[in-house]
Structure 1
Amino acid sequence: MDPNSFLDEKYESRLYVGNLDLRVTEAALIKMFSPYGKIVSEDFLWHTRGPKRGEPRGFAFIQYSTKEEAKLAKEKMHGRLACGRPLVVRIASEKYLEQAAQDPSKATTGDTNKTSLVGSSSGQMSRSAKIAAIKSKLKSLEEESGSAKKQKH
């Protein structure tokens, strides 16, 4: 068996769930997503420091046992209202790659950076996503050094 196919299956069965209302709990999230397949793991993200420490960050990751279950959950839950807010549901690797492809300069800022940091710390980031992140970081560093040189002159 090809070890890369196992990794692909793992990444394609992991969902990003965003735009979560602060009232949505981990238990409620699992209850909403469990009808679509076997949930292997769930990562509900919290602020770890600062004034919002201990509060939900507004997004989570759900790992299903198969990519088919993840795709079904994505189709059924994307746009569905939870506490009056439409859920944003994507395959986790798609979210990062989609944003990096649209605007590589944003791959080092905003939500994309949060996702890549979370993904890299838990080993959930695909190889191509890591490469895209490195390329965009290098580009932004080059742009910053270029603007710094212009300011000095």
Structure 2
Amino acid sequence: MTENGCMIDEKSESRIYIGNIDQRVTESNVIKMFAPFGMILSEDFLWHTRGPKRGEPRGYAFIQYNSKEEALRAKAKMNGKFISGRPLVVRLASEKQLCNTENESKIACDAKKSNMACSTSRQVNRNAKIAAIKSKLKALEEDWHQET
């Protein structure tokens, strides 16, 4: 199902994504910060499970509220709030479609954008990347020809 071009998962309309969490913020801190906005049914604080960062927080979490209204209230109050010097990114987990930005970081597709705008944005970014690769290949090829 889509809403204004973004994929919507009915089951996760009362679930929020919390990103850009500082490494010093604990799972308990996250629950305490988000408890005032409604009844928390579940919380998933994600950890690295492999590699050199194994056991360290991944910097994001999910909270399942009892209702969509509670999730929207938490999003409205906490998105952009500075915690340990970093602004939290809070959005509904149901806002699944992602659009690439020029710096290749991923942000939630703005609910006001149409599907066409998201597609156009991704296509422009993709075309820019392809053009950069072609340019680099051409420069390498010219260098190679000059050397031989």
> CA 1:73–1:32 in structure 2 vs 1: closer, same or farther (change >3 Å)?
same
Does the alignment pair 1:81 with 2:82?
A: yes
Cα distance between partner residues in 2 of 1:8 and 1:55: 29
Cα distance between partner residues in 2 of 1:53 and 1:110: 23
What is the aligned partner in structure 2 of residue 57 from structure 1? 58
- For the 8 Å contact 2:9–2:94, the answer to whether it is kept is no
CA drift at 1:10: 2.8
Q: Deviations over 1:101-123 (max 9, x none)?
A: x57xxxxx9768xxxxxxxxxxx
What is the aligned partner in structure 2 of residue 118 from structure 1? none
Runs of 4 or more above 4 Å deviation: 109-112
Normalising by structure 1, report the TM-score: 0.61
What is the aligned partner in structure 2 of residue 33 from structure 1? 34
Cα distance between partner residues in 2 of 1:110 and 1:54: 24
> CA 1:8–1:51 in structure 2 vs 1: closer, same or farther (change >3 Å)?
closer
Cα distance between partner residues in 2 of 1:17 and 1:58: 8
Identity of aligned residues (%): 62
Cα distance between partner residues in 2 of 1:14 and 1:63: 4
CA drift at 1:49: 0.5
CA drift at 1:37: 0.1
Higher relative contact order (CA 8 A, sep 6+): 2
Q: In terms of Rg, which structure is larger?
A: 2
- For the 8 Å contact 1:14–1:63, the answer to whether it is kept is yes
Q: Which amino acid aligns with 2:78?
A: M
Unaligned 5+ runs, structure 1: 1-6, 104-108, 113-135, 141-146
Cα distance between partner residues in 2 of 1:8 and 1:54: 30
Q: Which amino acid aligns with 1:53?
A: R
Q: Deviations over 1:21-70 (max 9, x none)?
A: 00110100000000000001111000000000000000011110100000
> CA 1:57–1:10 in structure 2 vs 1: closer, same or farther (change >3 Å)?
same
- For the 8 Å contact 1:10–1:67, the answer to whether it is kept is no
Cα distance between partner residues in 1 of 2:106 and 2:65: 23
What is the aligned partner in structure 1 of residue 91 from structure 2? 90
CA drift at 1:81: 1.2
Unaligned 5+ runs, structure 2: 1-7, 108-121, 127-132, 138-148
Cα distance between partner residues in 1 of 2:106 and 2:30: 20
Q: Give the secondary-structure state (helix, strand or coil) at the position aligned to 1:10.
A: helix
Cα distance between partner residues in 2 of 1:46 and 1:110: 20
Normalising by structure 2, report the TM-score: 0.62
- For the 8 Å contact 1:9–1:66, the answer to whether it is kept is no
